[in-house]
Amino acid sequence: MTLIDKPDCTRLTMSTDLRRRDVLRQLGALGISGTIGQLYSGSLFAGPGKAATGLNRLVAGEVINREDDRYEAWRNSMVWHLRKPDRYPDTIIRAQSEQDVIAAVKYATDNGLKVSARSSGHNATGAALRDGGVLIDLALLRDVEIDAGQKTARIQPALWSEQLVREAGKHGLAFPAAHCPTVALGGYLLGGGAGWNHAHWGSVACYSIKSADIILAGGRKITASPDSYPDLFWALRGAGPGFFGVVTGMELQLYHLPQAIHTSMYISPLDNLQTVVDSLDDLNSVKDERVEILVLLMHNPQPPEDTNQAKTCMVGVNAFADTEEEAKTMLAPFANSGLAAASVFRLEYQPATFATLYNPENVDSGIGRYAVDNVWTDNPSQALLSLVEHFRTTPSTRTHVLCSYGVKPELRADACFSRIANHYVASYLLWNDAEADRTNLTWLKRANDLLEPYSKGTYINEIEATLFPERIKSSFSEESWKHLAELRKKYDPDNVFHSWLSYT
């Protein structure tokens, strides 16, 4: 079936009755996933216009070149947030089909043009938006087919995470899709993918790719799987925005849909963070792998007069169980812990579904200028504590730090995804004015420096590569880095496809 666009909004990735407390409603508006924003649809700008010479005769989709009056509107729509990069492709193609992608890649190859591709534009640096060449917008390629008997899904790259979860759920199945509903699966899976209940569903989501259709330089289509082009199958599972091809379809492994999801929330003053992380260290060591722990350092929307208490810590716990009794048993250790005792507010044992996880009530929309960076770590407590005083100085009250406890640190020989640790810490910066760019990005650099002693590498999908290009390489093992370079020479010897942003 084909799915259509809908507006995006800020999301809180745990289910609570936010109406019970106004402060919770405001906290929720900031979002625990850090993926705040509005996705602009290129279809808003559809209509007749100029086209790149010759290319409009080869593709059915819209073709916009730099001389077109609508070019800037289209270019801006390629990045979901307001910090639009000053990079300008020669041509943007709104592909209507896989055949359009094949024709566009062949045209670019024959005419010496570089190629990039965009699924939903959620990469914070706007990695698909490059100078010169052809940008292939895949936003219309959003079909999904579920095979309930085989527990698989056939998807196109721009299908949103929430849409796959909803369609799979109709068949009693699920997938570790992104926490933000409008993140498209193409870029998410190419970079690894750390989503819902992933510790129980095979670690990072890219391990659940069974095969993929890829358009290579020259417009050649191949299908990569463990038995066909296994080297490309290895590369597409983790290469991120540096992948040397355009993925037009994937077959994914699906999993049993939890029948009883329950959540708990705990809010504590930032001064209590030591107690919170000490308790979480103990709880994480004994929790069921179906329990997801998300820690958020954030601004208190109703701070007391003591400005030192303007920041707070929120812990969300999601239990993906099959019965209510089982879910409550999984959450009980948190209710009886030092975490609960240190909290000034708690809301426990709340029933949820994926629909409510993705669409909580009374959460305001948000949009702004955005940046993100991260580390994998085996020491989340010290990593978070190292940021406490710096976090009190955030230039924007919308900035927050997320820690995902208990990531399943599994690496596989058949995937180039090669940097992971037991926990994940990321800084998500959101601010309003361009004049504040330097101040906020300077704050991010200092946060990275403070986290560096605890880092085991970085996650390619959430790095600020334009400012810190060295973090591209730190997302891969040395062996994987070298092998990716070899495969690029093999499959894209003329460098038709852009490599990682800011990497030369």
Q: Distance (Å, rounded) from C-alpha 109 to C-alpha 96?
A: 20
Orientation angle between helical segments 273-286 and 324-335, nearest 10 degrees: 140
DSSP 257: P
Return the pLDDT at 7: 31
What span, in angstroms and rounded, lies between the C-alpha atoms of 136 and 128?
Answer: 9
Residue that the structure tokens 């900035």 belong to = 399
CA distance 117 to 187: 9
Those residues of the chain that have pLDDT short of 70 are 1-53, 304-308, 361-366, 504
Query: Over the chain, what is the mean pLDDT?
Result: 89
Tokens of 270: 């930032």
- Alpha-carbon torsion, ordered 94, 99, 105, 108, to 10 deg: -70
**Three-class SS of residue 35?**
coil
- What span, in angstroms and rounded, lies between the C-alpha atoms of 219 and 42? 24
Nearest to 35 by CA among 14, 55, 10: 10
Question: Cα(398)–Cα(299) distance, rounded to whole angstroms?
Answer: 7
**Nearest-5° Cα angle at 374, 368 to 379:** 140
pLDDT digits (tens, 9 = 90+) for 12-44: 333 333 333 444 444 433 334 333 233 233 333
Q: Which domains does the chain have, with CATH numbers?
A: 39-137 (3.30.43.10), 144-257 (3.30.465.10), 260-473 (3.40.462.20)
Does residue 303 come out as left (phi exceeding 0), alpha (psi in the -120 to 50 range) or beta?
beta
SS3 236: helix
Place of tokens 């940021």: 387
What was the pLDDT predicted at 71?
Answer: 96
Q: In this predicted structure, what is the pLDDT of residue 13?
A: 35
pLDDT given for residue 52 in this prediction: 55
* pLDDT at 408 (0 to 100): 85
